[in-house]
């Protein structure tokens, strides 16, 4: 039952305290004396929507407080759900305070514990029925009907057991949903990794491929110069009458003749033969290298595209 109601800065009322006793309590007064404000305040304290328009003009905030007492054998299941404590008195008291502010920071407390408006709306139906002209009674509310039936059947203990079982079931359900989400994430990650592996495999990367392609690209970009340098070098070393090899042969004959007269020069014969072998090997290498140089239309573009693909894959996956 409602034992006490306190109102501050609501509509026309600065401050008002009303105590209620057992049985029928009547509020009488002239029109505009504030009876409706008391009823509206009672509605606000039991979960009805309110706005800052209810605050008295000139005030920054308003407050409504109410004290209810309930049967000690009845413990509202919603209290267990939200963890609100009740004392062990013969008729435990429930103290509700609702603070309304012009800045929109409204707060609700039940037994000094901060609660939501949704909680107050659910719990308020248990405490009070407000009937106005043309309004339906709370008996038409299915939740209220169930609560009244449970109260009549003295099913408080069973309700607590069901609430505890529901809490455990909710925890297991939440964990199961979390596991399903984790499994879905694993499958998604597996698909991503499979796609990445396939992309890397299709790229066909080889160790050292980039260096090989860069070297070939450099050759193609300098093909004319390479051909000229290798051809000229071959001619100077081997091909012409005054080439390095021809000059070396003439010098070798002179030194051989000199060695016949002065044996000290015979020691250089082996070195001259070695030099001749090096020049001949280098000349052959130059000739073969020059013969293999050829312009391949489109090859440079192929190399550029391949290097770009290798670079893209390496940037994407590291390497």
Q: Which residue has the higher pLDDT, 171 or 144?
A: 171
* Distance separating alpha carbons of residues 167 and 90, to the nearest angstrom: 28
Does a structural domain hold residue 168? Answer: no
- 214-219-223 Cα angle (round to 5): 155
SS3 state of residue 60: coil
**Which residue, of 106, 135, 164, is where some domain finishes?**
135
Last-in-domain residue among 135, 156, 188? 135
User: Does any domain span residue 174?
Assistant: no
CATH of residue 39: 3.40.50.300
| 202-242 per-position pLDDT tens digit | 888 888 888 988 988 888 888 888 888 888 898 888 888 88
In a domain, 93, yes or no: yes
**Which SS3 state, helix, strand or coil, does residue 55 take?**
strand
CA distances from 139 to 42, 120, 143, 156, 304 (A): 19, 19, 9, 20, 82
**126 and 236 part of one domain:** no
Kindly state whether residues 119 and 214 are assigned to the same domain. Answer: no
Nearest partner of 44 among 120, 105, 102, judged by Cα: 120
Q: How far apart are CA 129 and CA 291, in angstroms?
A: 107
**What stretch of H or E contains 2?**
strand 2-10
Single out the residue in 90, 106, 135 at which a domain terminates. Answer: 135
Q: How many domains does the chain have?
A: 2
147: in domain: no
Same domain, 125 and 31: yes
Query: Residue 82: inside a domain, yes or no?
Result: yes
The residue range of the domain holding 230 is 209-317
Each residue's pLDDT tens digit, 164-187: 899 999 999 998 888 888 888 888
- Averaged pLDDT, 121-148: 73
Dihedral sign from CA coordinates of 145, 151, 153, 155: positive
- pLDDT for the residue numbered 66: 92
């Amino acid at each position: 039952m409602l034992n006490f109601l306190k109102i501050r800065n609501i509509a026309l009322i600065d401050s008002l305290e009303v105590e209620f006793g057992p049985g029928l309590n009547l509020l009488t007064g002239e029109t505009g004396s504030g009876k409706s404000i008391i009823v509206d305040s009672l509605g606000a304290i039991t979960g009805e929507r309110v706005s800052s328009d209810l605050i008295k003009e000139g005030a920054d905030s308003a407050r409504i407080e109410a004290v209810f007492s309930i049967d000690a054998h009845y413990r509202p299941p919603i209290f267990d759900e939200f963890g609100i404590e009740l004392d062990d008195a013969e008729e435990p008291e429930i103290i509700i305070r609702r603070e309304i502010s012009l800045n929109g920071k409204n707060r609700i407390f039940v037994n000094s514990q901060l609660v939501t408006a949704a909680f107050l709306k659910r719990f308020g139906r248990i405490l009070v029925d407000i009937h106005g002209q043309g309004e339906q009674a709370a008996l038409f509310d299915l939740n209220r009907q169930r609560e009244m039936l449970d109260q009549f059947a003295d099913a408080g203990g069973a309700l607590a057991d069901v609430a505890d079982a529901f809490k455990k079931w909710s925890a297991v359900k939440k964990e199961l949903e979390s596991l399903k989400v984790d499994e879905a994430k694993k499958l998604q990650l597996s698909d991503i990794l499979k796609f990445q592996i396939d992309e890397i495999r299709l790229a066909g990367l080889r160790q050292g491929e980039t260096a090989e392609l860069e070297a070939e690209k450099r050759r193609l970009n300098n093909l004319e110069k390479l051909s000229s340098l290798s051809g000229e070098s071959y001619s100077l070393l081997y091909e012409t009458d005054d080439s390095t090899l021809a000059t070396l042969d003439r010098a070798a004959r002179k030194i051989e003749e000199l060695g016949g007269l002065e044996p000290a020069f015979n020691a250089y014969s082996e070195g001259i033969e070695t030099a001749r072998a090096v020049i001949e090997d280098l000349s052959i290498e130059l000739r073969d290298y020059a013969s293999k140089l050829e312009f391949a239309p489109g090859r440079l573009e192929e190399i550029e595209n391949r290097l770009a693909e290798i670079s893209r894959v390496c940037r994407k996956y590291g390497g």
